[in-house]
Structure 1
Amino acid sequence: MSLLDNINNFYERLVLEAIDDSMQEGEDEEFLSDVMCVALNRLPPRYYRHKIDIMFYMADPELQEMREKVASVVAEAKTFVKSRGSH
């Protein structure tokens, strides 16, 4: 087991949720993986060790703001990846 096995980026989960919520027909796994990478590169990291820690210390308005920002970034990432024409 590596030290990295204990560390997670909270935005990964939020981006995955936003991608699931906005999936459209024809968006395959390769496309969505590219979208996830682009979106995560446009967001600041938010690392945690235990999910309960981040959820306990984060206020509901802060979490809602993060979700809204992620939804916007995912939409922008989809547009960016589509514009590259590889999908």
Structure 2
Amino acid sequence: MKLDDDIHNYYEHLILERIAELGLNKNKSNDYIADLCCLALNQVPPRYIRYEVDMSFYLPQSERQQMEMNVTNAVNKAIEFLDEEKK
């Protein structure tokens, strides 16, 4: 078993989804996106899964909403930090 192929942090998916929603992947560099992901992921608790479908079917709606709120806050703080460093 390869741990890196079989198991991953579900928050990675949510953060990348949020970045795409904001369109940052279209107007920011790969380095910026990588830094943003690291900063945001360090602010949320890990949630390891094997299959995406498990989260889709077995995650209560209230917990999903909390996770999305956590991601929104983490991404916003990471953007603020990265953009402040440029000033």
Partner of residue 33, structure 2: 32
Paired residue secondary structure (1:42): coil
Structure 1 residue 7: deviation in Å? 0.1
TM-score normalized by the length of structure 2: 0.84
Structure 1 residue 41: deviation in Å? 0.8
1:19 aligned to 2:24? Answer: no
TM-score normalized by the length of structure 1: 0.84
Paired residue secondary structure (1:84): helix
State the alpha-carbon separation in 2 of the partners of residues 33 and 73 from structure 1. 14
Structure 1 residue 23: deviation in Å? 2.8
Partner of residue 45, structure 1: 46
Partner of residue 61, structure 1: 62
State the alpha-carbon separation in 2 of the partners of residues 5 and 28 from structure 1. 26
State the alpha-carbon separation in 2 of the partners of residues 20 and 12 from structure 1. 12
Gaps of 5+ in 2: none
Task: Supply the RMSD in Å over aligned alpha carbons.
Answer: 2.0
Which has the larger helix fraction? 2
Further displaced range: 60-69 or 16-25: 16-25
Sequence identity of aligned pairs in percent?
36
1:21-69 deviation line (CA, Å, top 9, x unaligned): 1135742221111111100011110001122222222111211221122
